[in-house]
Chain A
């Protein structure tokens, strides 16, 4: 094989791999079931860095005693969280090690356990109390926006509410399809 053909082969395979990244993500967005997730303000100690928004969801922390499904998890386990669509947000129903059977109006979103804890901090009593909880990473926690516009989404004003519309495909992969401010689309994900 001469150098021209070899160069074309390298370029074709590398560009195909890069387009594959985009294609897989786009397939999730196009074929996935849309659900709206509630966000919570990010920890004020984590500074807004660069031009991406750090999103903290109400489903990022799961209290296992209040949910169905499996109860024993450890750090870095893959989990499937069943969400029930609803107004205004989807809510978690159960957590599983494997993809579960879903009822109508439900989707299962896949994540990875960041921390598994047997205690939780009670804000009201300001004490640690026994409770099995998981911190789960879904791969939808960062969203790149134009420089300087992230802070209003990370820490919105008192009367503003940020929600995120995600598409969840049949394998549990999720992708952000839109960021909503007070129910209105603020950023919409498009192919080009």
Chain B
């Protein structure tokens, strides 16, 4: 725990360490400044207590006025609503400046945002405003974004992102928006303060929000059949997600090359790799390639219409552009071998995806086979890339998806061929042996990464 006691002890010890040559002379002050700048356990406690205080105060205020609400005039209600919100913001500003209590102030900014949301709901109730209700949540989220931009306050941005996800969830689930594009604009608007203030924790939330939006969009299309029971939309959407998240992965590689964005690179790559692998894994299933109801016998999906074709070409173009940009930033001689053959793999994948939008479901089996081969090749590529970039998370992803892929192909292949008891016994044995083997390999490679980092 980096508390004041620890810093005092360090102050006493550092001169002796410098004397013995363990620490470079002159570096003592930098070390102390660095340690002092880190979040200590007591600071985390302050944040936790402030948050609990904010929640308790907020719920107390709401329940108090709920009990006395009916007897108040509209004017009195408005004064209470605006007064409580203003008090929270003023208290936040005072604690941030005069009180020099930035952590408490963060909690109070969040309280202000919570009260802004409560005000939207209560004013809608007082004035019987019953419009498209997700707009109320959007308005609330924009209020949080305003605080994040203006003050700036990280907790307000976290609240805005959570509310943005709630907003798009409502639009998808209650109003079947299919692809809710406005959320992407909102999501992009959340990025500048994250970049400007190095809010890494909020970037986690933003990336999780993007993944959730993708899930909402996919589930909106899940039960979308045409009149004859076909639903190729699922497949075309999955291909676009794959291309989109691959583009985000390459963006992560580009972020690595600039000093001001390097800190965001690994996180962006990890989330993008996870999402792209999920989409790619889904594309290896013959069912999604055939795309028809299980009881519907026939040719399956139709070739994509102009809308899906346009989106696929756009996503492929964006990915291609980013790859070219990344290529230009590298010296030809310094490009590692795996990146060179990775380009060939990517070109093959793009060709397959673009060809796939012109095909119908009757060739779904063959297409699925091609995706399986490329999926395996991509996992091998990812292992090489993880070793090259000393990235343990990507290494773990590649093994996780390899295991999932093996398991699903085992089910596909042997479920109908083997007797049920044989199926489970053989599967169990294969899992134990395969799991042991994979874990051994993963540990060996992981050790290599650790050693590479140490050198």
A residues with a Cβ closer than 8 A to B are 3-4, 6-7, 9-11, 13-15, 17-18, 21-22, 25-26, 51-52, 75-76, 112, 139-144, 146-147, 175-176, 189-192
The reply to whether A141 and B130 form a contact with Cβ atoms under 8 Å apart is yes
The reply to whether A3 and B124 form a contact with Cβ atoms under 8 Å apart is no
Of A7, A17, A51, A190, most B-chain CB atoms within 10 Å: A7
Given A10-B89, A21-B129, A144-B126, A76–B176 Cβ distance below 8 Å?
A: yes
The reply to whether the CB of B86 lies closer than 8 angstroms to some CB of chain A is yes
Q: Which residues of A lie under 8 Å from residue B97 when comparing CB positions?
A: 3
Shortest Cβ distance from residue A55 to the other chain B in the assembled complex, whole angstroms? 10
* Segment from B52-60, B143-151, B251-259 that makes contact with A: B143-151
The reply to whether B92 and A7 form a contact with Cβ atoms under 8 Å apart is yes
Contact with A along B72-83 (1 / 0, CB 8 A): 011100100110
Shortest Cβ distance from residue A21 to the other chain B in the assembled complex, whole angstroms? 6
Whose C-beta in chain B lies nearest to the C-beta of A2?
B97
The reply to whether A18 and B120 form a contact with Cβ atoms under 8 Å apart is yes
Partner of B123, one of A10, A18, A191: A18
The reply to whether B70 and A10 form a contact with Cβ atoms under 8 Å apart is no
A25 to B143, CA, bound (A): 20
The reply to whether B70 and A14 form a contact with Cβ atoms under 8 Å apart is no
Partner of B70, one of A4, A7, A52, A147: A147
The reply to whether the CB of B139 lies closer than 8 angstroms to some CB of chain A is yes
Shortest Cβ distance from residue B100 to the other chain A in the assembled complex, whole angstroms? 12
Contact with A along B108-133 (1 / 0, CB 8 A): 00001000100110011111111110
Given A3-B97, A4-B93, A175-B128, A22–B146 Cβ distance below 8 Å?
A: no
The reply to whether B128 and A176 form a contact with Cβ atoms under 8 Å apart is yes
Q: Which residues of B lie under 8 Å from residue A190 when comparing CB positions?
A: 74
Given A7-B89, A10-B89; 4 other pairs, CB 8 A cutoff = A10-B150, A76-B175, A76-B176, A191-B74
A sample of 16 inter-chain contacts (CB < 8 A) reads A3-B97, A6-B150, A7-B151, A9-B150, A10-B147, A11-B86, A11-B89, A14-B143, A18-B116, A18-B119, A18-B123, A21-B123, A21-B124, A25-B127, A26-B127, A147-B70
Q: Which residues of B lie under 8 Å from residue A26 when comparing CB positions?
A: 127
Partner of B128, one of A18, A51, A189: A189
Given A3-B93, A7-B92, A7-B93, A22–B127 Cβ distance below 8 Å?
A: yes
| Majority DSSP secondary structure for residues of B touching A | helix
The reply to whether the CB of B346 lies closer than 8 angstroms to some CB of chain A is no
A147 to B132, CA, bound (A): 25
A139 to B133, CA, bound (A): 10
| Majority DSSP secondary structure for residues of A touching B | mixed
Given A17-B139, A18-B120, A139–B130 Cβ distance below 8 Å?
A: yes
The reply to whether the CB of B85 lies closer than 8 angstroms to some CB of chain A is yes
A5 to B300, CA, bound (A): 62
The reply to whether the CB of B10 lies closer than 8 angstroms to some CB of chain A is no
A82 to B90, CA, bound (A): 49
A192 to B176, CA, bound (A): 38
The reply to whether B132 and A112 form a contact with Cβ atoms under 8 Å apart is yes
The reply to whether the CB of B162 lies closer than 8 angstroms to some CB of chain A is no
The reply to whether B93 and A14 form a contact with Cβ atoms under 8 Å apart is no
Q: Which 4 A-B pairs give the minimum distances between C-beta atoms?
A: A7-B93, A139-B130, A192-B75, A6-B150
A6 to B150, CA, bound (A): 6
The reply to whether the CB of B170 lies closer than 8 angstroms to some CB of chain A is no
Shortest Cβ distance from residue B337 to the other chain A in the assembled complex, whole angstroms? 52
The reply to whether B143 and A146 form a contact with Cβ atoms under 8 Å apart is no
Shortest Cβ distance from residue B105 to the other chain A in the assembled complex, whole angstroms? 9
Q: Which residues of A lie under 8 Å from residue B309 when comparing CB positions?
A: none
A180 to B82, CA, bound (A): 32
Whose C-beta in chain B lies nearest to the C-beta of A20?
B139
Contact with A along B24-35 (1 / 0, CB 8 A): 000000000000
The reply to whether A7 and B123 form a contact with Cβ atoms under 8 Å apart is no
The reply to whether A21 and B93 form a contact with Cβ atoms under 8 Å apart is no
A18 to B86, CA, bound (A): 13
A142 to B236, CA, bound (A): 41
The reply to whether B73 and A192 form a contact with Cβ atoms under 8 Å apart is yes
A112 to B319, CA, bound (A): 39
Shortest Cβ distance from residue A12 to the other chain B in the assembled complex, whole angstroms? 10
A136 to B414, CA, bound (A): 52
Of B85, B93, B128, most A-chain CB atoms within 10 Å: B128
A52 to B69, CA, bound (A): 14
A140 to B128, CA, bound (A): 8
Q: Which residues of A lie under 8 Å from residue B128 when comparing CB positions?
A: 25, 140, 142-144, 175-176, 189
Q: Which residues of A lie under 8 Å from residue B73 when comparing CB positions?
A: 192
A3 to B100, CA, bound (A): 12
A176 to B125, CA, bound (A): 13
The reply to whether B74 and A10 form a contact with Cβ atoms under 8 Å apart is no
Partner of B127, one of A14, A21, A112, A140: A21
A58 to B130, CA, bound (A): 19
Q: Which residues of A lie under 8 Å from residue B304 when comparing CB positions?
A: none
Q: Which residues of B lie under 8 Å from residue A51 when comparing CB positions?
A: 70
Q: Which residues of B lie under 8 Å from residue A147 when comparing CB positions?
A: 70
Whose C-beta in chain B lies nearest to the C-beta of A177?
B128
Q: Which residues of B lie under 8 Å from residue A9 when comparing CB positions?
A: 150
Shortest Cβ distance from residue B75 to the other chain A in the assembled complex, whole angstroms? 5
Whose C-beta in chain A lies nearest to the C-beta of B73?
A192
Given A11-B89, A21-B120, A112-B132, A6–B151 Cβ distance below 8 Å?
A: yes
Q: Which residues of A lie under 8 Å from residue B123 when comparing CB positions?
A: 18, 21-22
Of B89, B90, B127, most A-chain CB atoms within 10 Å: B127
A89 to B81, CA, bound (A): 38
